[in-house]
Structure 1
């Protein structure tokens, strides 16, 4: 069998965030068959057709040369932006003590304000603006650490630098610059550990787990998130919203990794505990200085729907969408999740519509995202997959909305 087939099966599986076990189950074939094919083994066309159906692609796609689903397009950071960040995150190492790039003096209050502003830009999906600000923020944070005099100043300076590094890691993970993201997140976690700031380190670990999920390192993600959640588990009756949110976000990472790795009971337990934390908070809590993202009842429910989508239960997705904590009246009481979490939820709904043949509804969901989060949408492979599904079954002339989406997402034909 040609090497393209094994590569294409593996690439499309990973693009869905599926394990080999999950693909085997969805296609109704043995795990050994999937492993054999990904290692270059042979199979009948009927078997390939079942795999293609499970992967939601045409069988011919598996035979295509050099196929790489959802390549990174020119919507990521520029070469110069990455070079500036590399200078800060990966300075040259020689025989002498590394000096790194020139550091600016830091006024801590001003730097925290700059980090908050950059975070707001990130939440608005203004990634170019974030990339332009990060080198200066990192330089100021480094300057603060170098200038720190005494334990109290050092503690404050390292805490601030950790926050700057976590934001950098968040941005780089979002734009799929994973090696640089790892460097930023690991450095921030080490800063927090150096001053025994466990809650701060836990925030960085939530980001590290997101990165591991993006890299298909599901077992490592689940183990890291579970160990950290055990270490920071609060006493519910006395816990602050910040402590509950951090614990809850870690449990969501455990569940996300476990469901992708076919560890169903582990995922179920983690979702149950996350729901407990969300109920205790009572509404969406957002404070990027104290935890990674938004957390609360709506976010916890969205992650349950994400599980259903990953398991291929499109009816379950549509049945739970916009009900319970996600009903418009409930959202008034609970508050809205972060824009990225909400966007992923709407993509799950759009995908479910496309798989049930409700292409008008799927297009409507995509247009809603295009209007609300156009830049974020361009970075989402799922958005391209959903639109391709809609376009592939379209027999009439494309609507204006379809043309707009195809142009925005870089889809030809």
Structure 2
């Protein structure tokens, strides 16, 4: 029996569509023309906006359509072990199945463990993160049981962060059920901690879970409601509130772009830049990272999504190497993928391969959980060069023409 990656992209779309959905029904659901669906299933045309719409209609990650993962998520052994350990830690802690010999720990120790967990998450070191998360959840839950009233609030906050990080990892790995349950536990703990900003930060992550699950309207509702709840007054210069608010606006802008609502996307982008300017520099609060450079780099990806590579390239020109040093590894890597996509859209194929290969070599563990590398390779097309074949092999997806064109030559230029 063939592996999922052995099928062509068009064959995978057809298989996912199944016998109970016709091409016309898929076209209706995506609001795409029937010839576009036919072309996609014949491997003749698959732009990024088309891919996103089909993935949303079929309720799968784009990486499933591109063959990077099977419909039942295909992961490496280390990833599967990490996810299994995180899952058991989340469910056991939430159910109260805690080791009887576990002793309460000092709040300062929990604070350090939480900071380390966030740092590992943003660095993309998921194996070590899994080893940290289990004890963090256990120790925070045991310690919270020994405290009452206000004394318990900080510990409940750390417990909320632990659940939230677990939800983010599960969401990235495609374990949607675990992501939903973890983010629910995180929100309950944040509310119990009496921390509105932490609750809003959890809602930002919850919005992302909905987004990855193709529930775009729900994603927008959650992020927009949370942003409205904590919107700072113009005179409010509190860095923590501005950071969480900016993070939520980013989710709103991304979702609006996916919904193809250009007016709202533009409005959210304007507000993003305004909040970034008010912050003045990059900030980190409860795992939310935001600042002026985050606003600009995120705007690059959003303009790529809405089909404006020219505007994205102009923004890229304004981003200096020093601006990227304050970003988390994951944010920096994602920005580089957006740069490569903008370059590919503009038919700057050599530059796109340069940028993409750099990310794949610098962050291989992080890259294998991303769908965009395969989109970029397919955008570049089936060029007869060892360079393109090598990059294709790195991500496990064959290079095929996309959008009806392929470069005549691709010279040596994640």
> Are the aligned partners of 2:124 and 2:366 in contact in 1 as well (CA < 8 Å)?
yes
Which whole-Å CA distance do the structure 1 matches of 2:187 and 2:34 have between them? 49
Which residue in the other structure is 1:368 paired with? Answer: 358
- Corresponding residue number in structure 2 for 1:393: 382
Number of the residue aligned with 1:176: 174
1:327 aligns with 2:320: yes
Distance in 2 separating the partners of 1:237 and 1:83:
46
Aligned residues: 367
What TM-score, normalized by structure 1, do the two folds share? 0.78
| 1:121 corresponds to 2:120 | yes
Q: Which runs of 5+ in 2 are unaligned?
A: 1-8, 18-22, 55-63, 400-414
Once residues 346 and 146 of structure 1 are traced to their aligned partners in structure 2, the CA distance between those partners, rounded to angstroms, is 44
Distance 2:261 2:11 in 1: 25
Q: In structure 2, do the counterparts of structure 1 residues 147 and 182 end up closer, same or farther at CA, with 3 Å as the change threshold?
A: same
Task: Using CA pairs under 8 Å that are at least 6 residues apart, name the structure with larger relative contact order, 1 or 2.
Answer: 2
In structure 2, what is the Cα distance between the partners aligned to 1:249 and 1:241? 12
Q: Is the 8 A contact 1:305 1:345 kept in 2?
A: yes
CA 1:99–1:347: 2 relative to 1, 3 Å: closer
**Cα distance in 1 for residues equivalent to 2:363 and 2:266:** 31
Query: CA-atom RMSD, angstroms?
Result: 3.4
Partner of 2:246: 248
Q: CA deviation at 1:267?
A: 2.1
Matched ranges for 1:285-364 at <5 A? 285=283, 287=284, 290-323=285-318, 326-328=319-321, 331=323, 336-364=326-354
- CA–CA separation in structure 2 for the residues paired with 1:35 and 1:10: 14
Deviation at 1:380, TM superposition (A): 1.0
Deviations 1:31-77 (A, max 9, x none): xx96553679xx87587338953536999xx9xxxx83234243475
TM-score, normalization by structure 2 = 0.78
TM-superposed deviation, 1:179: 1.5
Secondary structure of 1:192's aligned partner:
helix
Distance 2:351 2:157 in 1: 46
Report if aligned partners of 1:121, 1:130 keep a CA contact under 8 Å in 2.
yes
1:307-331 deviations in whole A, cap 9, x for unaligned?
Answer: 22112222222232131xx1346x2
- Structure 1 residue 196, shift from structure 2 partner: 2.4
Identify the match of residue 45 of structure 2 among 49, 53, 60. Answer: 53
1:224 paired with 2:198, answer no
Q: Deviation string for 1:118-166 (max 9, x for gaps)?
A: 2222222211111222212111111112222x21332122112112112
Q: 2:317 aligns to what SS in structure 1? A: coil
Match of 2:149 in 1: 151
- Report the Cα distance in structure 2 between the residues aligned to 1:319 and 1:48, rounded to whole angstroms: 34
Q: Using the alignment, how far apart are the partners of 2:397 and 2:37 within structure 1? A: 29
369, 394, 402: which one aligns with 1:408 = 394
What is the alpha-carbon distance in structure 1 between the residues aligned to residue 389 and residue 315 of structure 2? 30
Q: How does 1:137-216 map to 2 (within 5 A)?
A: 137-148=136-147, 150-216=148-214
C-alpha distance in 2 between matches for 1:129 and 1:261:
36
State the partner residue of 1:26.
Answer: none
SS of the residue corresponding to residue 238 of structure 1 reads coil
CA gap 1:8/1:403 in 2 versus in 1, 3 angstroms? closer
Distance in 1 between residues matched to 2:339 and 2:296, nearest whole Å? 13
**d(CA) in 1 for partners of 2:234, 2:24:** 44
Structure 2 residue aligned with 1:82: 83
Asked whether 1:273 is paired with 2:263, we answer no
The answer to whether the Cα contact below 8 Å between 1:236 and 1:277 also exists between their aligned partners in 2 is no
Q: Is the 8 A contact 1:246 1:292 kept in 2?
A: no
